Structure 1
Amino acid sequence: MTEPQYSLDEIRTNVSRIDNEILKLLAERRQLSLEVAKSKIQTAKPVRDQIREQALLLRLIETGQSLQLDAQYVTQIFHTIIEDSVLFQQAYLQKIANPESLQPVARVSFLGAKGSYSNLASRNYFSKKQTKLVELSCSTFRDVLHTVEIGNADYGVLPIENTSSGSINEVYDLLQHTSLSIVGEINQPIEHCLLAAADTKLEDIDTLYSHPQPHQQCSEYLHSMGNITQEYCSSTAEAMKIVAELKQPNVAAIGNASSGELYGLTPLKSNIANQQENYTRFIVVARKPVEVTSLIPAKTTLTMSTAQKAGSLVECLLVLRNLNINMTKLESRPVIGNPWEEMFYVDVEENLKSEVMQEALEELTRLTRFIKVLGCYPSENVKPVDPETGDLL
């Protein structure tokens, strides 16, 4: 048997040295991407260039293979690096377009206490903007909006849809009646665990605390547990707090493992969601809309009510199709007080200021009984480029 060339401590020291070098190079690359953004302001070129990204990936894959690195490994790493570069450039360009937003500290309202998924989404969103937070916990979605409406918070963060449980209807209903604008979005990974405070076994658990959404998102696993009592809370943070205070061997909370540490909870079971790829899309609202530069991918969200006759909605959707505007979301909600009348929420991949979007709004205004733009904001969903075809995955 061949003796190792280095001791384990020496190997770990070398690994740490290489890791530190990688971090320095990533930081240097990120700063160069900022110089790219400055250059694109002068040339009016968009942030994303699929042809350039495809050529870059193909070259990196070829170089990686010569170093005994497989194509999937190289592609996965550089998809992440490219995503970071795009979002970093977007944040810079948005600050130029919205100089009044250049504030080092922002007051942000969200559902639940520290450690809730809304709190995690808030931190992730504003960390990319290099903005420090004053965190304002709220007990209901309505309170999140109201805190911003009366000026006690600069922004509110609200979950709007989940890949497993679907749309959060309460938030859509509240958007019908607010004067706030959607100014941003973020897709937050949701990693549900069973968390307990006492030294216990999984089979001893008979009561689970959490917000209704996690219960729904983990319904298949909960069904496999048999006769489980599901106790609903205003947030995952409240659920974790209750379980921490009870310290009983038969109770557990559904929540994030890292957040559970804040309450002294230990994971009993990880990855319990119905879908392994479980994400919640959060929207960010503010009192004033933002300007979205034409150099970055943008989304526009609007709400509309159509005439109560056959084909009315189809006519509206044909406007988007004929103008080649991609619709990413269509949600219907009942209009409170008007039985059988629906309000439609539409997300499209288009900048509100573009000619094609203005043409679409003009046509939709003619076809609908009511229409309102809820916001135009930078798209945070950076789809990776397929190195083989050059298409977005």
Structure 2
Amino acid sequence: MSKEVLNELREKITATDSQLLSLIAKRQTLTAKVAETKVKHQISVRDKSREEQLLLRLIKQGQECGLDPHFITKLFQVIIEDSVLQQQSLLHEWANPDSRLQINRVAFLGKKGSYSYLATQKYFSRRPGDLVEIGCNSFAQIIDKVEKNEADFAVLPIENTSSGSINEVFDQLQHTRLNIVGELTHPIEHSLLVHEGVRLEDIKTVYTHPQVFAQCSHFLAGLGNIEVKTCDSTADAMVKVGELSAPNAAAIGSAESGHLYGLKAIKSDLANQKENHSRFIVVASQSIKVPLQVPAKTTVIMSTVQSPGALCDALTVLKNNNINMTKLESRPINGNPWEEMFYVDMLGNIEDGPMQLAFETLRGMTRYFKVLGCYPVEEISPTRIAASQALTEAQKE
């Protein structure tokens, strides 16, 4: 194939890509109109049955065009997820008109390139207004920034699929007046980052955050006799190695962020669990209203009376009101030896009747009860259809 023919084909691909972008933008405009209609008629954001039928029809049309069903499925799962998140974002804006800011000042852990920084970028990419990044050295400093009105929001990691709950954040939530207004789950992809030319066998010192050390303990143990030095964040670890310019030092962090500090990845997928994700919460001074059409999660903290079965009785209240609990975490109460504060995540909107009944009952049977926040669920489960269902639909033709 001559160079001229290749260039001509590439130009046609570029033109086709531009058409695809225009069509995607048109689809998003229609999605906004759908969201407006759902607000007027109190219709839920997701209609799983319609999504499944849509996916089946698209797979069938794609096959007629010679496209692979798996490719069609992956492509439109992403498009449907984006549509759902866009609709939820629009509904949130309309339900909370005073929350729209021209500038979003957001505090997070670490410098540019930390996982909290990446999560902040991801979450606020869907929010209106410019983003002002405020990197902090500790969770206490992050919360303090919002409490003193030096930041509008804070992004805090709350748990990880590999290393578990981040207890320090739970302890901070025990004493703050801030409200949880959002959440997101972000994939954590740990890589070993070094200067150009450094080999794996050269490494003597690894810089990392304590949580990352726990998540990558198997890999680090396999390196043998190395020194692990902890830093306040993954970004601080990258900064340290970047400044050292040492031929035997490495940092663990995001390969994408490593480029910001002149570092390259020589080993990836370091986590003990390959499916490694962190859940982050977003907190602010004011609570928000979540439209009933949007799937919601509510987080509370409570302490029960010191009697046998007290916690079980409290959780039975949720069961009796058909409320699904998704997380239960206990933390010691400072100054009260052997007493625990319980953090409970549950699916549901605080304005739902069953949730209100449950909370009224819990307030009457617990020593302390506080709602930390009601916020949209942003972990969108992908639309799925069984392979047998797709095959059956194809055979109908």
Give the alignment's TM-score, normalised by structure 1.
Answer: 0.95
Matched residues, number: 387
Percent identical among aligned pairs is 53
- Unmatched segments (≥5 aa) in structure 1: none
CA shift for structure 1 position 284? 0.6
CA shift for structure 1 position 72? 2.3
Alignment of 1:255-266 (within 5 A): 255-266=253-264
Alignment of 1:62-211 (within 5 A): 62-211=60-209
C-alpha offsets along residues 18-41 of structure 1, whole Å, 9 cap, x if unaligned? Answer: 222222111111111000001111
The aligned counterpart of 2:313 is: 315
- Unmatched segments (≥5 aa) in structure 2: 388-397
C-alpha offsets along residues 231-274 of structure 1, whole Å, 9 cap, x if unaligned? Answer: 00001111100000101011100011111111111111112112
AA at the equivalent of 2:341 = M
The aligned counterpart of 1:18 is: 16
SS in 2 for 1:184: strand
CA shift for structure 1 position 4? 9.2
Q: Distance in 1 between matches of 2:262 and 2:160?
A: 27
Q: Is the CA contact (8 Å cut-off) linking 1:198 and 1:247 kept in structure 2?
A: no
Q: Is the CA contact (8 Å cut-off) linking 2:178 and 2:284 kept in structure 1?
A: yes
Q: Is the CA contact (8 Å cut-off) linking 1:118 and 1:158 kept in structure 2?
A: yes
Q: Is the CA contact (8 Å cut-off) linking 1:193 and 1:254 kept in structure 2?
A: yes
Q: Distance in 1 between matches of 2:57 and 2:274?
A: 32
AA at the equivalent of 1:140 = S
The aligned counterpart of 1:293 is: 291
CA shift for structure 1 position 206? 1.6
C-alpha offsets along residues 281-340 of structure 1, whole Å, 9 cap, x if unaligned? Answer: 111110110111111111100011112222211112221122111111111111112121
Q: Distance in 2 between matches of 1:87 and 1:284?
A: 16
Q: Distance in 2 between matches of 1:240 and 1:296?
A: 39
Q: Distance in 2 between matches of 1:177 and 1:309?
A: 25
Q: Is the CA contact (8 Å cut-off) linking 2:106 and 2:153 kept in structure 1?
A: yes
From 352, 358, 363, the counterpart of 1:360:
358
Q: Distance in 1 between matches of 2:244 and 2:8?
A: 47
CA shift for structure 1 position 137? 1.2
Tell me whether 1:375 sits opposite 2:373 in the alignment. Answer: yes
The aligned counterpart of 1:235 is: 233
CA shift for structure 1 position 198? 4.8
CA shift for structure 1 position 200? 1.0
AA at the equivalent of 1:384 = P
Q: Distance in 1 between matches of 2:3 and 2:385?
A: 38
C-alpha offsets along residues 351-382 of structure 1, whole Å, 9 cap, x if unaligned? Answer: 01111110110121122111110000111111
Q: Distance in 2 between matches of 1:203 and 1:47?
A: 53
Q: Distance in 1 between matches of 2:67 and 2:312?
A: 50
SS in 1 for 2:21: helix
Q: Distance in 1 between matches of 2:273 and 2:130?
A: 33
SS in 1 for 2:125: helix
Q: CA RMSD in A?
A: 1.6
Q: Distance in 2 between matches of 1:31 and 1:96?
A: 16
Tell me whether 1:220 sits opposite 2:218 in the alignment. Answer: yes
Q: Distance in 2 between matches of 1:21 and 1:223?
A: 51
SS in 1 for 2:212: helix
SS in 1 for 2:88: helix
Alignment of 1:312-351 (within 5 A): 312-351=310-349
Q: Distance in 2 between matches of 1:278 and 1:23?
A: 31
